[in-house]
């Protein structure tokens, strides 16, 4: 689907703008044009989350937090966030390359529970680290479009820590898992004019080897500010259906994306 959208967009652009189109990415003679590096050092993603999570041997609990709710309560979110980082990039020589994407989120919250006779403090921490590493191969390329095939691995590390302090007494428990999934996909870009482009990717994985199923979809529109700098805005969603014993992570994360891309 992503490939079809990109190619349709490219055809529309070609019909309207090819006569006046001149590629703005021109490498200095000091650089080898066969090497291309694209780095997104940080992008903003507001991931709503919905699905079923089971920990500590309990029945799955339904989770549903929308991106809108996060934005509306951004002050509370900033109070509990310990760390957040999203980064992506690709290095390519000729038709082959390596691409990566990293998601890191760490939140921690303390709540005081008032009882009739005793009070307790409840500490809850959650961390997610998702790293995707892909080999890429260029299937199609023109001055205004390109399409890459991708194959690689996605590593997930999910941890949930719960601690209770009751007067001089306390206790804690940790639940989570680390696993790796095979993942395959397509990604591409098509220029609609000299500076405006659309891009996206679609990936699937898991296949029952670790997760039952994994998917990741992204689409955005961008603006080429300079030959080495572009900005983009779009939407991304990713889902993972994984279970290992009492631990279950059947979750979809989705929301708007905003960032910038550096090219060398």
Residues 47-56 have pLDDT tens digits of 999 999 988 8
Closest CA to 190 of 236, 157, 143: 143
In a domain, 141, yes or no: yes
In our burial notation (b when 16+ CB lie closer than 10 A, e otherwise), range 136-163 reads beeeeeeebbbbbbbebebebebebebe
In a domain, 49, yes or no: yes
Residue 138 pLDDT more than 60? Answer: yes
Query: Sorting pLDDT into bands at 50, 70 and 90, what band is 125?
Result: confident
In a domain, 44, yes or no: yes
Q: Tell me the C-alpha distance between 53 and 60, whole Å.
A: 5
Residue 238 pLDDT more than 80? Answer: yes
Q: What is the pLDDT of residue 117?
A: 54
Q: Tell me the C-alpha distance between 177 and 179, whole Å.
A: 7
> Using a CB cutoff of 8 Å and minimum separation of 24, what contacts does 128-131 make?
128/103, 128/104, 128/156, 128/157, 128/158, 129/102, 129/103, 129/104, 129/155, 129/156, 129/157, 130/102, 130/103, 130/104, 130/154, 130/155, 130/156, 130/157, 131/100, 131/101, 131/102, 131/103, 131/155
Residues 142-177 pLDDT 10s: 999 999 999 999 999 999 887 766 655 656 678 899
- 102 phi and psi angles, rounded to 5 deg: -130, 130
In a domain, 6, yes or no: yes
| Residues 181 and 216: beta-carbon distance below 8 Å | no
Average of per-residue pLDDT across 22-43: 66
In a domain, 224, yes or no: no
Alpha helices in the chain (DSSP H): 2-17, 67-72, 74-80
Residues 62-75 pLDDT 10s: 989 999 999 999 89
Q: What is the pLDDT of residue 164?
A: 66
CATH number of the domain bearing residue 85: 2.40.128.100
Residue listed under structure tokens 């703008």: 17
Query: Sorting pLDDT into bands at 50, 70 and 90, what band is 119?
Result: low
Q: What is the pLDDT of residue 18?
A: 38
Segments forming the whole domain that contains residue 150: 2-218+231-263
Token pair for residue 127?
Answer: 């961390």
Query: Sorting pLDDT into bands at 50, 70 and 90, what band is 33?
Result: low
Residue 92 pLDDT more than 90? Answer: yes
- What total number of domains does the chain contain? 1
Least confident of 19-28, 43-52, 89-98, 183-192: 19-28
Q: Which residues pair with 25 in a beta bridge?
A: none
Q: Tell me the C-alpha distance between 234 and 217, whole Å.
A: 11
In a domain, 62, yes or no: yes
Query: Sorting pLDDT into bands at 50, 70 and 90, what band is 29?
Result: very low
In a domain, 226, yes or no: no
In this structure, how many other beta carbons lie within 10 angstroms of the beta carbon of residue 117? 4
């Amino acid at each position: 689907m992503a490939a079809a959208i990109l190619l349709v967009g490219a055809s529309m652009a070609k019909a309207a703008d090819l006569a006046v189109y001149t590629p703005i990415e021109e490498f200095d003679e000091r650089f080898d044009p066969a090497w291309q590096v694209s780095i997104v050092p940080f992008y903003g993603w507001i991931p709503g989350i919905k699905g079923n999570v089971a920990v500590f041997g309990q029945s799955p609990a339904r989770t549903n937090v929308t991106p809108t709710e996060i934005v509306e309560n951004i002050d509370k979110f900033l109070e509990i966030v310990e760390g957040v980082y999203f980064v992506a990039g690709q290095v390519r020589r000729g038709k082959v390359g390596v691409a990566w994407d990293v998601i890191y989120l760490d939140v921690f919250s303390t709540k005081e529970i008032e009882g009739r006779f005793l009070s307790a403090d409840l500490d809850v921490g959650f961390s997610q680290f998702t790293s995707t590493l892909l080999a890429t191969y260029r299937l199609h390329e023109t001055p205004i479009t390109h399409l890459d095939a991708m194959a690689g691995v996605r590593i997930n590390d999910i941890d949930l820590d719960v601690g209770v302090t009751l007067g001089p007494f306390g206790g804690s428990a940790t639940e989570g898992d680390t696993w790796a999934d095979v993942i395959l996909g397509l990604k591409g870009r098509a220029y609609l004019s000299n500076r405006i482009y659309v891009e996206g990717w679609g990936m699937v994985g898991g296949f029952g080897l670790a997760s039952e199923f994994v998917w990741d979809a992204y689409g955005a529109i961008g603006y080429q500010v300079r030959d080495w700098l572009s900005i983009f805005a779009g939407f991304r969603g990713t889902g993972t259906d994984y279970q290992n014993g009492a631990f279950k992570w059947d979750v979809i994360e989705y929301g708007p994306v905003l960032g910038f891309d550096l090219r060398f």
